[in-house]
Amino acid sequence: MAESAIGVNWGTISSHRLKPSTVVNLLRDNKISKVKLFEAEHDVLKALMGSGIQVMVGIPNEMLSLLGSSSVAADFWVRQNVSAYMIKGGADIRYVAVGNEPFLSSYNGQFLNLVIPAITNIQQSLVKANLAGYVKIVVPCNADAYESSGGLPSQGVFRSELTQIMTQLVQFLNSNGSPFVVNIYPFLSLYDNGDFPGDYAFFQGTTHAVTDGSNVYTNAFDGNYDTLVSALGKLGYGQMPIVIGEIGWPSDGAVGANITAARVFNQGLVYHIASNKGTPLRPNVPPIDVYLFGLLDEGAKSTLPGNFERHWGIFSFDGQAKYSLNLGLGNKELKNARNVEYLPSRWCVANPLRDLTNVVNHMKIACSVADCTTLNYGGSCNEIGEKGNISYAFNSYYQLRMQDSQSCEFDGLGMVTFLDPSVGDCHFLVGVVDKGLNSSASQTIYQWWVL
C-alpha cells in the first residue's frame, strides 16, 4: 500500500493575497505534492499548471442546487474548471469535492437533498469529458455526520437523518473508486467542551484514555476516525478508504490556540500518520491522504465559529513559517515563501499627543473591515494595553488599505511611524503588494463568503 501523503488546504479568503505563483513555489519548496482548493479560481489553477502538484478542486455548497438540477450547468462547470486545465502540461486535478461539509448539522438540512443529484450530474459530465477514470468525485463531510453512544468508537453510526443519504453516497463513492473524505478537528472538541481532557486532543499520550472493549484510545483523532470506520461498517463499507480533508490547530485568536499547541499538534499528527500504525480498528492502514488545515492564515474569514478561524495556517498570510515543522516530505523544517513583495516598512499608530477618549468608533470601524482578532482574550496581542490596542487596530486598517495616507487619519488620532511597534509575540503586520487579485475582486469574494 502507498504511504499516506500529507497535503494542505489552500484557502484564499484573505485581505492580503500572495500571488498564486508565489504560493505554488512555496508548496514546491516544501515538497508538498497535494493541495485542496475550496473553489475553482482561475488564477490559482493556472498557477498550478505544470507544477506536478495533485489538486482537489471544490464546488461551494451554494452551487449544489444549480448543478444538481441542470446537466448543462454541470457540463459547463466541468469544462470551465477541470477540462480547461487538464491539457498536456496542465494541472493534475485528481478530485472534485462536491460541496463542503454539506451535512453540517448547523445547516439544518438545507443542502441534504442537493448532494446526490449534484454528484450524479458532475459524474456524468466527467464521463462525457473522458475524465471519469482519472478524476474522482468526493464529498468532504464534517465529523458531526456521525456519533456514538457513550463516546465509544465501536458504537459509531451516522446521524439518523443522514442514514439514507449516506448509504447512497458511500455506494456511489465505492462504485466509482472514490474515498470517503472527512474533516476532523480535535481543537474544536476542546474549544466547544470545557470538560474535554486537553491532553487527549494531542498525540503525546493521555491520562484520560478511552477503553472500548479490547481497544484503548489515547488521542481524539484515533477515536474520531474509528467512530467513522464503525459507521461505515454498519452500512456495509467497513473497508472504504478514508481521506482526512481537513485537520489542524490554530495558532492565535482563542485560549488554547497558540504557536506551541499548533506545533505540538501538527508535528504529532505528521509523526502519527508517518508511523503507519493506523488505528485500533484499522491497524497498519492509515488514511490514504491527510490535508492539513491550512497552508496560509486567512484574515478575511468569518469569525462566527471563533476568532481562531483566521489563524489556522502553518504559514502566516505572507508565507512565513510560524514554527518549525517537519512534514516528513524531505525537508526537516518549513521553508518560507520567496520573493514576497511587501509594502514599505511603515505602520499607523495612535498619536501619543492626542486625547484618545473618542477613539472607540474609529476602532470599531477599523476592526469591522480589518482583522483585529489577535486583540481578543487568548490572542497574542491581548495584553498590549489600551494604546497598543488602538495602534494595532489602526495599523491593521492602514495595511488593508495598502498604506493609503488617508487611511491613517482617524480624525487626527493616527500617525504614521517608521519604528516597528510590535511587542513580544504581538506582531504589527506590514501588508504585501497585492498582485494575486485586484482589491475589488478580493472584496467581492469576502462579501460573498460572509453572507
Residues 142 and 252 in one domain: yes
Q: Where are the alpha helices (DSSP H) in 133-201?
A: 163-175, 186-192
Residues 242 and 386 in one domain: no
Residues 26 and 71 in one domain: yes
Measured in Å, how far apart are the chain's first and last C-alpha atoms?
A: 43
Locate the DSSP E strands across 159-240. 180-183, 210-212, 215-217
Catalytic residue, candidates 39, 41, 101, 298: 101
246 is catalytic: yes
Residues 351 and 232 in one domain: no
Residues 175 and 311 in one domain: yes
Three cell numbers, residue 290: 491527510
The per-residue pLDDT for 4 is 75
The per-residue pLDDT for 194 is 87
The per-residue pLDDT for 3 is 63
Q: Is 290 exposed, middle or buried (0-12, 13-18, 19+ CB in 10 A)?
A: buried
Q: What DSSP string runs through 70-115? A: -HHHHHHHHHHHTGGG-STT--EEEEEEESSSTT-GGGTTTTGGGH
Residue 59 counted as domain residue: yes
Distance CA 272, CA 269 (A): 5
Residue 336 counted as domain residue: no
Residue 93 counted as domain residue: yes
Residue 436 counted as domain residue: no
Give the torsion sign (CA, 346, 351, 356, 358): negative
Residue 434 counted as domain residue: no
The count of domains in the chain is: 2
Residue 339 counted as domain residue: no
Q: Under a CB-based contact definition with an 8 Å cutoff, are residues 292 and 9 in contact?
A: yes
Catalytic residue, candidates 39, 41, 246, 298: 246
Cβ-based neighbours of 293, under 8 Å, separated by 6 or more: 8, 9, 183, 246, 247, 248, 312
Q: Which residue has the cell 499538534?
A: 265
101 is catalytic: yes
Listed residues 267, 293, 315: the one ending a domain:
315
Residues 257 and 351 in one domain: no
Residues 269 and 397 in one domain: no
What three-state secondary structure class fits 59? strand
The per-residue pLDDT for 2 is 53
Residue 330 counted as domain residue: no
Torsion, Cα of 110, 112, 116, 117 (10° steps)? -30
Q: What DSSP string runs through 277-332? A: -EETTEET---SEEEES-SB--TTS--SS-GGGG---SB-TTS-BSS----SSS-S
The pLDDT tens digits along the chain (451 residues) read 456 799 999 999 999 999 999 999 999 999 999 999 999 999 999 999 999 999 999 999 999 999 999 999 999 999 999 999 999 999 999 999 999 999 999 999 999 999 999 999 999 999 999 999 999 999 999 999 999 988 999 999 999 999 999 999 999 999 999 999 999 999 999 999 988 999 999 999 999 999 999 999 999 999 999 999 999 999 999 999 999 999 999 999 999 999 999 999 999 999 999 999 999 999 999 999 999 999 999 999 999 999 999 999 999 999 999 999 999 999 999 999 999 999 999 999 999 999 999 999 999 999 999 999 999 999 999 999 999 999 999 999 999 999 999 999 999 999 999 999 999 999 999 999 975 544 333 333 333 333 2
Q: Is 451 exposed, middle or buried (0-12, 13-18, 19+ CB in 10 A)?
A: exposed
Residue 176 counted as domain residue: yes
Q: Under a CB-based contact definition with an 8 Å cutoff, are residues 411 and 355 in contact?
A: no
Helix (H) or strand (E) holding 157: strand 156-158
Backbone angles phi, psi at 42, to 5 degrees: -55, -50
Residue 368: domain span: 347-417
Residues 311 and 351 in one domain: no
Q: What is the CATH number of the domain that holds 301?
A: 3.20.20.80
Residues 297 and 358 in one domain: no
Residues 377 and 283 in one domain: no
Residues 156 and 295 in one domain: yes
Strand 215-217 to strand 210-212: parallel, antiparallel, or no bridges (unpaired)? antiparallel
Cβ-based neighbours of 246, under 8 Å, separated by 6 or more: 9, 36, 140, 183, 184, 185, 291, 293, 294
What three-state secondary structure class fits 18? coil
For helices 115-128 and 71-81, the axis angle rounded to 10 degrees is 60
